[in-house]
Amino acid sequence: MIYSVGIDLIDTERIGRALDKWGESFAKKILGIEEYEMYMQKFNKVQFLSGRFAAKEAVIKTLGAFFERRINFKDIQVLNDLYGKPYVHLEDNLRERVLDKEIKVSITHERKMAAAVAIITGD
């Protein structure tokens, strides 16, 4: 069954401006450790960061049904499997609230936009 859905759309120029202004500390504020390692390998860092930003916002929206307090971006990591398909890794403080449910996410990016959809599924 699907419990909830979240969606987000990001203007990549906005992310580019934040990176110009704050530098790497902006990326480090958004990305978890494994995501940051992926980011460092990317040629198009603005596109990658925009996709992750959209994915995290989409996950936060779908988690809204489960949480009242503020959620830290770094506690939601969106990694890629062997085929490039994104999957969500939650840090323990979030995972314990979602328990047996699964969060699925899909990301797309264009030159000026990135978007993501997330859903929570379970029995």
Ligand X SMILES: CC(C)(COP(=O)(O)OP(=O)(O)OC[C@H]1O[C@@H](n2cnc3c(N)ncnc32)[C@H](O)[C@@H]1OP(=O)(O)O)[C@@H](O)C(=O)NCCC(=O)NCCS
Residues 6+ apart with CB under 8 A from 16: 46
3-state class (DSSP) for residue 83: coil
44 binds ligand X, rule: CB under 6 A: no
Structure tokens at 11: 């203007």
Query: Which among 5-13, 19-27, 63-71, 103-111 is the span making contact with ligand X, rule CB under 6 A?
Result: 103-111
Least distance to ligand X, CB of residue 119, Å? 14
43 or 83: CB nearest ligand X = 83
Q: Is 65 left (phi over 0), alpha (psi -120 to 50) or beta?
A: alpha
Structure tokens at 76: 């939601």
The contact mask relative to ligand X for 47-86 (x = CB under 6 A, - = no) is -x--x----------------------------x--xxxx
Least distance to ligand X, CB of residue 68, Å? 29
How many residues touch ligand X under the rule CB under 6 A: the total is 10
107 binds ligand X, rule: CB under 6 A: yes
Let me know: does 65 contact 5? Beta carbons within 8 Å.
Answer: no
